[in-house]
Amino acid sequence: MTTNSKNTISPESKITKRDFWKVFTRSCTLDSAWNYERQQHLMYCYMMIPVLKRVYGDDKEKMAAALQRHMEFMACTPHIVTLLCGITGAMEEENAKNPNFDATSISAVRTSLMGPMAGVGDSFFWGTLLTIAVGIGVSFAKEGSILGPILFLAIINVPGFAARFYCLKAGFGYGVRFFSDMSATGVIEKITKAVSIVGLMAIGAMVATQVSFSITYKIGVVSGAGEPIQNYIDQIMPAFMPLVLFGVMYWLLGKNIKTTWILVAVIIISCLGVFLGILG
């Protein structure tokens, strides 16, 4: 296989643009054969294979060592895992070129970066972006508009696949320097903070629009014509109940109560409330 510098990702690298796209495509399988023991390890290794084949060629011994290295535990956000792929890929290439390179540093980088990366990635994709996608998607879907599901998929996947691409590019480009540069300028903390702000505002908005609850039980001076309790609550603050409910749920989760039990309790209390005429 001939590799001229035009088809490689950078003049100094042996890794071709085709390898780049192979890794990109393979990164889409990261959540497939998930397992309790090492989570995403099989897919991470699968993803690295095009790079490993390119840099180690027919050297079975080094290939075996590299495959085993990437079969170690892996847990990361799938949309940005390509950053780590690029970084470890660049390191594998260095390892193939330089006999003094310490291969254990690849495992070290892999292990130490996946946690912080998953922290940023999970809060961005599953905390913030998912909330926004659900918020916008559901507001259309509840009206019966097909735009709901379409917008939902677009809001998650356009940034998702863009992140996958740019992370892989950045990973290969910077190699191991990437994260030391990032933490030096405090970029990680800034991104985390910005993401948390957007996410929490979106969650606040969703609590106000999508959680509903009202107490229809009437209280009055004498029996008979009274006003539902809800009318009094609404005078103090509309959507007070959704806020209280959110607070209760947050508190319960903080007590490590399983969500399934909370769910069952909510259903029983709702049905019982209707049965007793307090709700409805």
Partner 1 sequence: MLVTQTILIGILYFISQMDGFFGTSLIGRAIIMGPLTGLIMGDVASGVMIGGTLELAFIGAVSIGAYDPPDVASGTILGTAFAIKAGAGPEVAIAMGLPVSTIMQTVIAIAWGLLPTLFMHRADAFAEKGDAKGVSRNMFVAGFAPIVAVFWIVPAAYYFGSDAVVNLLGNIPEFITTGMDIAAGIIPAIGFAMLAEMIMNKKVAPFFFLGFFLIQYFGIGTTAVAIFAVIIAIVIVQLSSNQPQTKQEEDGFDDF
- For partner 1, the binding residues in 78-137 under the rule CB under 8 A are 78-79, 90-91, 94, 118, 122-123, 126-128, 130-132, 134-137
Q: Computed over its alpha carbons, how large is the radius of gyration of the chain?
A: 26
CB of 38 to partner 1, least distance (A): 7
Of 46, 54, 53, 45, nearest to 15 by C-alpha is: 54
Q: Does 194 bind partner 1 (CB under 8 A)?
A: yes
- Report, in Å, the least distance between residue 222 CB and partner 1: 28
Among positions 18, 107, 159, 176, the unique one binding partner 1 when judged by CB under 8 A? 176
One residue of 18, 22, 63, 165 binding partner 1 per CB under 8 A: 63
Give, in order, the Cα–Cα distances in Å from 20 to each of 48, 85, 137, 171: 10, 10, 33, 11
Interface with partner 1 (CB under 8 A), residue total 127
Q: Looking at residues 208 to 237 of the shown chain, list those that interact with partner 1 (rule: CB under 8 A).
A: 208-213, 237
Contacts to partner 1 from residues 1-40, by CB under 8 A? 10, 12-13, 27-39
Length of the chain: 280
Q: How far is CA 3 from the centre of its chain?
A: 36
Q: How far is the CB of 54 from partner 1 (least distance, A)?
A: 11
Q: Is 228 helix (H, G, I), strand (E, B) or coil?
A: strand
Does position 159 interact with partner 1 (CB under 8 A)? The reply is no
Residues 130, 206: Cα–Cα separation, whole Å: 12
Which two three-digit tokens encode residue 223? 């029996």
Cα–Cα distance for residue pair 205/217, rounded to 1 Å? 27
- Assess 183 for contact with partner 1 (CB under 8 A): no
